[in-house]
């Protein structure tokens, strides 16, 4: 009996306990990482919805860096972009900050022009356009920093017919360039609304979130039709993105000054410029 008791002391119990501890630590690390990622999504959505974007400019490269497959990164980015932009657009529309007379024609025209840009992409070398657009974005970013001393509140003074015509023209340009270069056109909306249609900065940013919703929705549905979606990650992340959009919209509409919006957006334009230059040299 004594022999049996001594032998039982040497049974491999500790490795089982050690593996259990390791499993617990790995779960803890994974949970901590997930919490940090969700918090980052909330913050990105908060900042970018204040300037009329949903966060897709940051989400997609961030997810690729974290090891997501490209299709999963793109689909998750588009859905979170939709959640943040829709949340912000709803908050802005309740405060009557969305100019629908410009936004709706712009959405229609960009949707129709994007396939034409995609066809051109297959028939011509787009590298020269990358540099041209990078220069345009850099100039737009510099121009955004030079905000006017005073800017009136409310919608543009242009007539409804001129707004519709302007929205159609801007939408066609954005859709064509977005399809040609394979980039989201949302980053071009705010500067074009400000400088072509003389739309006040806050109205331009608010209207842009409404426009971004539709581009994100159609893009996401395209990915959903051809591959699986990781709903276990996307749904909790979308809640954080939606909350960030709500808070960002409230901060912008109530507290953020025009100058601050322009500075933030100019930084976004410079980042997009750098991205295009990187694509030109490294593909």
Closest by CA position to 50, among listed 256, 213, 271? 256
CA nearest to 178, candidates 190, 191, 188: 188
Measured between alpha carbons, how far is 256 from 247 in angstroms, rounded to an integer? 12
Instruction: Please tell me the total number of residues recorded for the chain in this structure.
Output: 283
Tens of pLDDT, residue by residue over 222-237, are 888 877 888 989 999 9
- The packing angle between helices 70-94 and 201-226, to 10°, is 140
Domain ranges of the chain: 22-282
Are 92 and 245 a contacting pair, CB within 8 Å? no
For residue 183, the model assigns a pLDDT of 64
What is the rounded distance in angstroms from the CA atom of residue 136 to the CA atom of residue 145? 14
- In degrees to the nearest 10, what's the CA dihedral of 265, 271, 272, 273? 110
The rounded percent of the chain whose pLDDT value lies above 90 is 22
- Mean per-residue pLDDT of the chain: 81
Q: What is the pLDDT of residues 166-181, one digit of tens each?
A: 999 998 888 887 777 6
Better-predicted residue by pLDDT, 112 or 155: 112
pLDDT of 175:
82
Is the confidence at residue 273, as pLDDT, over 90?
Answer: no
């Amino acid at each position: 009996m004594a022999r049996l008791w001594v032998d039982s002391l040497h049974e491999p119990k500790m490795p089982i306990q050690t593996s259990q501890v390791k499993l617990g630590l790995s779960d803890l690390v994974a949970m901590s990482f997930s919490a940090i990622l969700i918090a980052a999504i909330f913050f990105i959505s908060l900042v970018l919805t204040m300037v009329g974007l949903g966060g897709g400019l940051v989400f997609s490269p961030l997810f690729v860096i974290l090891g997501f497959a490209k299709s999963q990164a793109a689909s998750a980015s588009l859905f979170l972009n939709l959640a943040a932009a829709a949340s912000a657009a709803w908050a802005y529309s309740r405060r009557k900050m969305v100019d629908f007379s410009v936004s709706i024609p712009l959405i229609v025209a960009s949707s129709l022009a994007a396939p034409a840009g995609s066809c051109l992409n297959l028939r011509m070398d787009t590298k020269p356009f990358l540099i041209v657009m990078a220069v345009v974005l850099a100039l737009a970013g510099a121009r955004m920093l030079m905000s006017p001393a005073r800017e009136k509140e409310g919608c543009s003074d242009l007539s409804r017919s001129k707004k519709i015509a302007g929205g159609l023209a801007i939408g066609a340009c954005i859709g064509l360039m977005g399809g040609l270069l394979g980039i989201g056109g949302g980053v071009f909306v705010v500067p074009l609304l400000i400088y072509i249609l003389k739309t006040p900065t806050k109205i331009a940013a608010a209207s842009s979130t409404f426009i971004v919703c539709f581009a994100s929705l159609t893009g996401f549905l395209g990915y959903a039709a051809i591959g699986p979606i990781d709903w276990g990650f996307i749904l909790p992340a979308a809640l954080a993105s939606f909350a960030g959009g709500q808070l960002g919209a409230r901060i912008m509409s109530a507290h953020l000054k025009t100058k601050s919006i322009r500075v933030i957006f100019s930084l976004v334009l410079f980042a997009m410029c750098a991205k295009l230059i990187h694509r030109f040299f490294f593909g």
